[in-house]
Amino acid sequence: MNHVKTGVKPHSQVLGLVQVALFAALIIILAFTPFLGYIPLGFTRATIIHIPVIIGALLLGPKKGAILGFVFGMTSLINNTMNPTVTSFVFSPFYELGEIHGGIGSIIICFLPRILVGVIPYYVYRFLKEKCQISMSISLGAAGLAGSLTNTLLVMNLIFVFFRDAYAAANNVAAEAVYGFILSIIGINGVPEAIVAAIITAFVGRALLKSKLVIG
């Protein structure tokens, strides 16, 4: 007798979708709560939104992590279009500052680094934990650090590649000095973000990985 397929997904698959939805909801809440997910600093925005992307990648795997990274990128695009700063053109092709405007480079900057934030930490953790036999807490912390630096370093260097002169003009910096300015942002903004991400990922990730609610 032939069995009719009901279309009901296995429990683990449904649980995985629910977990992705929960992490995506957390990202959206952080992104659109004023001064929480995106903290305006004038010349840029500090963020903690990469942290749920990193933890989501570690718990759910790189494919779902990439989806969460895409959600992160989408919130950045929306925020920089609807609530812009002077440099929002680097994240949104829909925002203009005088003669300066975004373009295809804005889309790449907005999405590529954020998607990789949902991929790289997973492999960093697996490599350190399984291949190098390093403790879970240290491996998680290193994954958090790597995820945060992936976002900061790729975003800032892609800004230099696509918008060097426009970014310099928007920040009243000489074109030849713009990379030094970018390095200062990485140091002042990116390094503290990475340290915070490492600490939170180590503590929260360890607790969740030990929970039976998490699937691989």
And the tokens for 171? 């920040």
Alpha helices in the chain (DSSP H): 11-32, 50-60, 62-82, 104-117, 120-126, 136-170, 178-185, 191-209
Burial class (CB in 10 A: 0-12, 13-18, 19+), 138: middle
Residue 78 is predicted with a pLDDT of: 95
Is the pLDDT confidence value at 1 over 50?
no
Give, for 1, the enclosing helix (H) or strand (E): none
Q: How confident is the model at residue 216 (pLDDT cuts 50, 70, 90)?
A: very low
CA 207 to chain centroid: 21
Question: What pTM value is reported for the model?
Answer: 0.88
Is the pLDDT confidence value at 97 over 90?
no
Q: Is the dihedral of CA 209, 38, 68, 113 positive or negative?
A: negative
CA 98 to chain centroid: 29
Q: What mean pLDDT, rounded, does the chain reach? A: 89
Q: How confident is the model at residue 44 (pLDDT cuts 50, 70, 90)?
A: low
And the tokens for 115? 């998607």
Q: Mean pLDDT check: name the lowest of 11-20, 111-120, 166-175, 198-207.
A: 11-20
pLDDT for 123-141, tens place per residue? 999 999 999 999 999 999 9
pLDDT for 51-87, tens place per residue? 999 999 999 999 999 999 999 999 999 999 998 888 9
And the tokens for 150? 């992936």
Residue 94 is predicted with a pLDDT of: 92
| 9: DSSP letter | P
